[in-house]
Amino acid sequence: MVTFRAPSGASEGLRHVVDLANRDLQGLLNDLDTHQQGQFWENLHGYALARAEHRIPVPHLIASPERVDRAVREALELADEKFAGHLEALSGPDRERFWRMLHEHAEQQQATTRHPKARHGGT
């Protein structure tokens, strides 16, 4: 798993939140298989983009039970809960930056879980 990192020049608060989110993501993904991780990243990718673009008025990550595995849905709900708590202390611009960074990270991870053999040099 590629580590989610704050870019240089990020505020101390944003760096701290990214560190917390990275720890949370690693913990949440430990219990998911590769297919489930793909579902997780796909849903998180869309959600983070919507949050960054202010398209979601309700701050809860909602994944349809028909579309995702139960373990994935639970991991998404925990991620949403954790992120909401971490972001409370950030300014509006830092929150937006967090969502944009998370969107980019989720996009990269989604591609990795789609092609897991490529990660290890396989075909």
Residue at 41 is within a domain:
yes
Q: Does residue 71 belong to any structural domain of this protein?
A: yes
Counting the structural domains of the chain, the total is 1
- For residue 14, is it within any domain? no
pLDDT of 5 > 60? The answer is: yes
Q: State the residue range of the domain holding 101.
A: 34-114
In a domain, 80, yes or no: yes
Higher pLDDT, 94 or 52: 94
Q: Residue 18: pLDDT above 60?
A: yes
Output the pLDDT for position 12.
94
Mean pLDDT in the chain? Answer: 84
In a domain, 52, yes or no: yes
Please state the pTM of the whole predicted model: 0.83
Contacts with 114 (C-beta within 8 Å, 6 or more apart), sequence order: 38
- pLDDT over threshold 70, residue 59: no
In-domain check, residue 3:
no
Q: How confident is the model at residue 64 (pLDDT cuts 50, 70, 90)?
A: low
- Confidence band (pLDDT; 50, 70, 90) for 63? low
On whether residue 68 sits in a domain, the answer given is yes
Q: What is the pLDDT of residue 22?
A: 93
In a domain, 19, yes or no: no
